[in-house]
Amino acid sequence: MKLSSEQQQLLIEAAIAVRHWAYVPYSHYAVGAAVLTSSGKVYDGVNVESAAYPTTMCAERVAIFKAISEGERSFDAIAVVTENAGSPCGSCRQIMAEFGPDAIVLIADVHGVIKKETTVAELLPQAFTLKDLPQH
């Protein structure tokens, strides 16, 4: 899938708009994400930290889980916005591979400048997916 410049801008703006809701009292590294589902809907998310660090949840997974909880099962693109255009972590890449292995990933800074455009497959080559599990 190829995103139009309007679709790219919509996703980046959605991720920027929610980023201020991030709960980041420990890292102070706010992340906003917006996922475009295959049905055409956009779901957003922010990172939520916890004093029990392992329970922290990333913005990308929050956005995808919101979409999943509304019945969506695949997505075409995701925008991730941070101060310095940081890349999604390994856990987020794994979830992205589960629901959008060929999806476009836009990584942008807080000014909306896309620093990298890639795909989930490029971010996580040879991802472990359902096809790797034995069939019962």
Quick one: average pLDDT of 19-27? Answer: 97
> How far apart are alpha carbons 98 and 65 in whole angstroms?
12
Which of 60, 70, 117, 122 does the annotation list as catalytic? 60
Residue 4 confidence class, pLDDT cut points 50, 70, 90? very high
Domains, in order of start, for the chain: 5-132 (3.40.140.10)
Residue with tokens 């703006």: 13
pLDDT at 136 over 70: no
Residue 86 confidence class, pLDDT cut points 50, 70, 90? very high
Residue 14 confidence class, pLDDT cut points 50, 70, 90? very high
How do strand 104-109 and strand 75-82 relate by DSSP bridges? parallel
Cβ neighbors of 99 (< 8 A, separation 6 or more) are: 64, 67, 68, 72, 73, 74, 75
pLDDT tens digits, one per residue of 66-77: 999 999 999 999
* Annotated catalytic residue 70: no
Quick one: average pLDDT of 19-32? Answer: 98
pLDDT tens digits, one per residue of 109-134: 999 999 999 999 999 999 999 889 98
Looking at residue 1, its pLDDT comes to 77
